Amino acid sequence: MKNIVIIMLACIAITSCQPTTTAPAAAPGYLNAGGERVNAYDGDPANLTLVDAYLDAHNAKDLEAIAAMNIDSTEMLGAFKVVDAQGNLIEGVDGHKNALAAWFEAENPQWNTYFAYSMKVDGQPGEWVITGHKLTRTVDGEETSSYDILDIYIEDGKIGGFWVYSRKDK
């Protein structure tokens, strides 16, 4: 009986020392870049704070604060750029500031964010925030709204550019 207990304890000790292998966890997301699927992971939560402050500055029509959060040039995108919902390209921090000043005057846009997610894509220098909001505008005294998604590129803690996708509210 004593030998059986010793053998059992020896077996337990030997098997508990064996290394266990587990497959690496799959990435929670991906980006299809040029036909290649690239892994995407959760990004830095500080990016969400930056984007919230950025949209707050837009709601406050604070052009100087907005410009201060933009970066002149990024490793990935080059000069700061915006592609709006109509496909128009706005380049440079000053170009963005001028376009916003005209838009703020003409339509008094207001953003109400309902989601934001920060992500890091393998092989890219910066990170992204994907955010959704309801955008309300007043044109000629009539209020209209849309639901927008922004893909915002962030590098070195500043906004490097973004793309706007929009769907008109009913």
User: Residue range 33-58: average pLDDT?
Assistant: 94
Apex CA 169: angle with CA 168 and CA 170, to 5°?
Answer: 115
Q: How confident is the model at residue 9 (pLDDT cuts 50, 70, 90)?
A: very low
Q: Does 144 have pLDDT greater than 80?
A: yes
The dihedral built from the CA positions of residue 44, 49, 53 and 55, taken in this order, carries a sign that is positive
> How far apart are the C-alpha atoms of 132 and 159, rounded to whole Å?
16
Q: Domain limits of the chain? A: 43-168
Task: Classify strands 158-168 and 81-83 as parallel, antiparallel or unpaired.
Answer: parallel
* Residue 41 burial (CB count, 10 A): 15
Q: Is 169 left (phi over 0), alpha (psi -120 to 50) or beta?
A: beta
> How far apart are the C-alpha atoms of 158 and 73, rounded to whole Å?
10
3-state secondary structure of 129: strand
Class (C level, CATH) for 43-168 = alpha beta
Are 160 and 74 within 8 A, CB to CB? yes
Percent above pLDDT 70 for the chain: 85
What pTM was computed for the model?
Answer: 0.83
